[in-house]
Amino acid sequence: MQEEEIEEIIKNIIREKLTQNSNYILRATKKYQVLTRRLEKLILQAMKYIIVSITNSDFDIIGNEVEFRKGKDNPPITIELEDGKKVEIIGKIDRIDLAKGKDGNYVRIIDYKSSVKNIDLNEVVAGLQIQLLTYLDAITSKQEDLIPAGVLYFNLIDPILKADRNKTNEEIEQEIKKQFKMQGLILADVNVVRMMDKNLEKGASNIIPAYLDQNQNISEARSSVVTKDEFKTLQKHIDKVIKEIAKEIYSGEIEIKPYYNQKKKKTPCDYCEYKSICNFDPNCNSYYYIPNKAKEQILEEIREK
Provide the pLDDT for residue 161. Answer: 63
Greatest CA separation for the chain = 67
- Residue 298 near residue 122, CB atoms below 8 Å: yes
Which 3-state string (H, E, C) describes the chain? CCHHHHHHHHHHHHHHHHCCHHHCHHHHCHHHHHHHHHHHHHHHHHHHHHHHHHHCCCCEEEEEEEEECCCCCECCEEEECCCCCEEEECEEEEEEEEEEECCEEEEEEEEEECCCCCCCHHHHHHCCCCHHHHHHHHHHCCCCCEEEEEEEEEECCCCCCCCCCCCCHHHHHHHHHHHCCCEEEEECCHHHHHHHCCCCCCEECCCCCCEECCCCCECHHHCCEECHHHHHHHHHHHHHHHHHHHHHHHHCCCCCCCEEECCCCECHHHHCCCHHHHCCCCCCCCCEEECCCCHHHHHHHHHHC
> Residue 166 to residues 37, 149, 159, 162: CA-CA distances in angstroms?
29, 39, 19, 11
Whether 163 shows a pLDDT value over 70: the answer reads no
Confidence band of 30 (pLDDT split at 50, 70, 90) = confident
Instruction: Name beta bridge partners: 113.
Output: 155
Spans of all domains in the chain: 1-55, 59-252, 255-305
- pLDDT tens readout for residues 275-292: 889 889 888 889 999 999
Per-residue pLDDT tens for 71-124?
Answer: 887 899 999 999 999 999 999 999 999 999 888 899 999 999 887 789 999 999
User: Per-residue pLDDT tens for 251-272?
Assistant: 998 888 899 999 989 999 988 8
Amino acid at 57: S
CB proximity list for 256: less than 8 A, separation 6 or greater:
278, 279, 280, 285
The predicted model gives 38-58 an average pLDDT of 88
The residues with which 95 forms a beta bridge, in sequence order, are 64, 110
**Residue percentage of the chain with pLDDT more than 90:** 54
pTM of the model: 0.86
Strand partners, 12: none
Report whether 264 contacts 102 (CB < 8 A): no
pLDDT tens for 182-223 read 999 999 999 999 999 999 999 999 899 999 999 989 998 999
Kindly list the strands in the beta sheet with 225-226, ordered across the sheet, starting from the edge strand earlier in the chain: 60-68, 91-101, 104-113, 146-155, 183-187, 225-226
**Pick from 97, 190, 209, 207: which is nearest to 146 by CA?**
97
pLDDT band at residue 160, thresholds of 50, 70 and 90? low
